[in-house]
């Protein structure tokens, strides 16, 4: 059996466990894929991470079937989540707060599958750089 021919591939950032059909429709409507089935598959796959933003790569094939590949939440989202209410800022304004080394390690370990390193220390440096660009200080 020949492999299926890929016709579309789209990366979406959706709310885990409750993907809005409107967002799916905007990006996948022209592909002819069954949006309800995509939503059900995504929601089932991300139910344990409910409330987080979980990016997904949706691959649509010639026969209108699809495959989902979940990614880890965006680094900025994880940093804001670790900061709690202190990390919330208005759009366009820097986030101010402090991350501990333990929080940094936790975020780095979660992001490791999507980073181009397998070293947790290198991943921590990458996450620390993102935190600095957001106005967040890393403390010991």
Of 4 and 13, which is predicted with more confidence? 13
pLDDT in tens, 65-111: 999 999 999 999 999 999 985 544 445 555 578 999 999 999 999 99
The matching CATH number, chosen from 3.90.1150.10, 1.10.3720.10, 1.10.10.250, 1.10.10.10, for 75-138 is 1.10.10.250
End-to-end CA gap in the chain: 56
Provide the pLDDT confidence category of residue 127 given band limits of 50, 70 and 90. Answer: very high
Which residues, at least 6 apart from 41, have a Cβ–Cβ distance to it below 8 Å?
66, 68
**Annotated domain spans of the chain:** 6-70, 75-138
For domain 6-70, give the CATH number.
Answer: 3.30.1550.10
pLDDT given for residue 87 in this prediction:
46
Q: How far apart are CA 131 and CA 99, in angstroms?
A: 8
Express the helix, strand and coil content of the chain in percent, nearest 5 each: 45, 25, 30
Tokens 């979660």, residue located: 110
pLDDT in tens, 16-47: 999 999 989 999 999 999 999 999 999 999 99
pLDDT given for residue 6 in this prediction:
92
Burial zone of 121 (CB within 10 Å; 0-12 exposed, 13-18 middle, 19+ buried): exposed
């Amino acid at each position: 059996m020949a492999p299926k021919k890929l016709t579309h591939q789209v990366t979406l950032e959706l709310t885990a466990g409750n993907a809005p059909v409107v967002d799916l429709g905007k990006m996948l409507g022209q592909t002819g894929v069954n949006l309800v089935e995509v939503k059900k598959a995504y929601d089932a796959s991300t139910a344990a991470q409910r409330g987080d933003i979980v990016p997904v790569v949706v691959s649509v094939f010639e026969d209108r079937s699809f495959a989902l590949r979940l990614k880890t939440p965006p680094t900025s989202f994880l940093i804001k989540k670790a900061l709690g209410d202190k990390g919330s800022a208005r759009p366009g304004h820097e986030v101010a707060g402090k991350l501990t080394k333990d929080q940094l390690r936790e975020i780095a370990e979660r992001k490791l599958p999507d980073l181009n390193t397998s070293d947790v220390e290198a991943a921590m440096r990458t996450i620390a750089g993102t935190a600095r660009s957001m106005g967040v200080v890393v403390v010991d």
